[in-house]
Amino acid sequence: MITALVVGGGSIGKRHLRNLLASGRSASVVETRDDRRAEITAKHPEVKVVATVYGQATASVAQSAVTNVLPSLPHVDAVLGQGGSDDVGIAAAFQQYGGDYKDKMPIIEGGGGTDFVKWWAEESKNNGYKTISMNTTPGIGGAAFWLGLSLLDGAQAPKLMIMPVATVNADNLKDYAGLPSGQIISPTYSLDWVKQNLLSKLRQAGGA
């Protein structure tokens, strides 16, 4: 049995929806993370979610939420986060709690923050700690700019375009460990990248 703690974002998406509606815009929100987690745990009955708390994608809030619930939980093997900076707050809560976690931290899902990656790199050096960090990239705005400019110049875009996520794992951890604190990991996207990875998909699909 694998025990998991879920640290969700709470009602962040719904609050954004209310703000958009209040400004006169038409919008909808789909809370997909919880749905996907439910699907995964249904397919893997060996994973038991022992608690769900809400960290609002913020280190301090996540740390407080996890700290409050930890004394009532069985040993936690893994933590699924929301993203933002909650990951480093989750790590801080387990380290502060100590006990069984002093020498073996749970696997904490990273959300792309450089503070967490720096903590992970140090843990990896000290005891071989392994996890993975994935996040959507703020640099996607650059891709949107070059895509829009290409469309204005007459380019045709496929109906479905999928942007990659930024992924940090044991193989490339050292490449990101030296980034400044307080940032979100994000590659930059050039016009050439857009042509090769987005616009070229239309040609590969035969113009569909």
pLDDT tens column, 92-121: 999 999 999 998 999 999 999 999 999 999
And the tokens for 21?
Answer: 């509606």
pLDDT tens column, 23-63: 665 555 445 566 777 788 888 889 999 998 988 888 999 99
Residue 60, helix vs strand vs coil: helix
pLDDT tens column, 166-175: 999 999 999 9
C-alpha span between 59 and 88 (Å, rounded): 6
pLDDT tens column, 121-155: 999 999 999 999 999 888 999 999 999 999 999 99
Task: Kindly report the number of other CB atoms within 10 A of residue 21's CB atom.
Answer: 12
Q: Answer yes or no: pTM beyond 0.75.
A: yes
Pick the closest to residue 133 from 72, 75, 176 (CA basis).
176
What's the farthest any 2 CA atoms get from each other in the chain?
62
Domains of the chain: 2-109 (3.40.50.2300)
More confident residue, 84 or 184: 184
pLDDT band with cut points at 50, 70 and 90 for residue 13:
low
And the tokens for 176?
Answer: 């990101």
Section 191-198 average pLDDT: 94
Task: Kindly report the number of other CB atoms within 10 A of residue 28's CB atom.
Answer: 7
pLDDT band with cut points at 50, 70 and 90 for residue 6:
confident
- Cα of first residue to Cα of last residue in the chain, in angstroms, is 47
What is the reported pLDDT for 140?
92
Is 82 in contact with 33 (CB distance < 8 Å)? yes
Helices (H) and strands (E) in the chain, counts: 9, 6
What is the reported pLDDT for 23?
60
What is the reported pLDDT for 202?
58
pLDDT band with cut points at 50, 70 and 90 for residue 208:
very low
> In the 8-state DSSP scheme, what is residue 112?
S
Pick the closest to residue 103 from 87, 131, 126 (CA basis).
126
* Residues 95-132: b if buried by 16+ CB within 10 A, e if exposed: eebeeebeeebbbbbbbbbbbbbbbbbebbeeeebebe
Provide the mean pLDDT of the chain: 86
Is 58 in contact with 85 (CB distance < 8 Å)? yes
What is the reported pLDDT for 96?
96
